[in-house]
């Protein structure tokens, strides 16, 4: 079974600085998808970024980028130029390649990020 581990429950960053949120996962599959979701105080889950395991290039979305290390099974999220609105809980998620009954989306326990003004 796949597992997703976010070992740091909380992190803090100064506004305008850069922060990296860690995520590791365990799988025996060679192809899969990884996601970072953001859950602000409103509790609405929002997709931040996604990465396909077959792609060597790290995904980037504006101030958000990932460091995907397939061999190490590591998928960290880097937030550059942190803003107050980035304060939220961030979840790392793993999705296998299957559709139908064998599909599975697994989440980590989340990291609470606070941004200091």
Partner 1 sequence: DGGITQSPKYLFRKEGQNVTLSCEQNLNHDAMYWYRQDPGQGLRLIYYSQIVNDFQKGDIAEGYSVSREKKESFPLTVTSAQKNPTAFYLCASSLDRVANTEAFFGQGTRLTVV
What residues line the site for partner 1 (CB under 8 A)? 6, 9, 33, 35, 42-45, 47, 50, 52, 91, 95-101, 103, 105-110
Per-position DSSP letters for 19-75, written without gaps between them? EEE--EEE-S-S--EEEEEEE-TT---EEEEEEETT--SPPEETTEEEEEETTTTEE
Question: Considering the complex, what minimum distance in angstroms separates the CB of residue 10 from partner 1?
Answer: 11
- The four Cα atoms 56, 45, 40, 91 give a dihedral, to 10 degrees, of -40
- The residue among 68 and 110 lying less far from partner 1, judged by its C-beta, is 110
Question: Considering the complex, what minimum distance in angstroms separates the CB of residue 4 from partner 1?
Answer: 8
- The residue among 72 and 99 lying less far from partner 1, judged by its C-beta, is 99
């Amino acid at each position: 079974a796949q597992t997703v581990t976010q070992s740091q429950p909380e992190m803090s960053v100064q506004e305008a600085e850069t922060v990296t949120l860690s995520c590791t996962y365990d799988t025996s599959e060679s192809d899969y998808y990884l996601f970072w979701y953001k859950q602000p105080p409103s509790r609405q889950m929002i997709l931040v970024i996604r990465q396909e395991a077959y792609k060597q290039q790290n995904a980037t979305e504006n101030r958000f980028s990932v460091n995907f290390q397939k061999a190490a099974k590591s998928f960290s999220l880097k937030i550059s130029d942190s803003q107050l609105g980035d304060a939220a809980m961030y979840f790392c998620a793993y999705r296998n390649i299957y559709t139908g009954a064998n599909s599975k989306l697994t989440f980590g326990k989340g990291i609470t990020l606070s941004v200091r003004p």
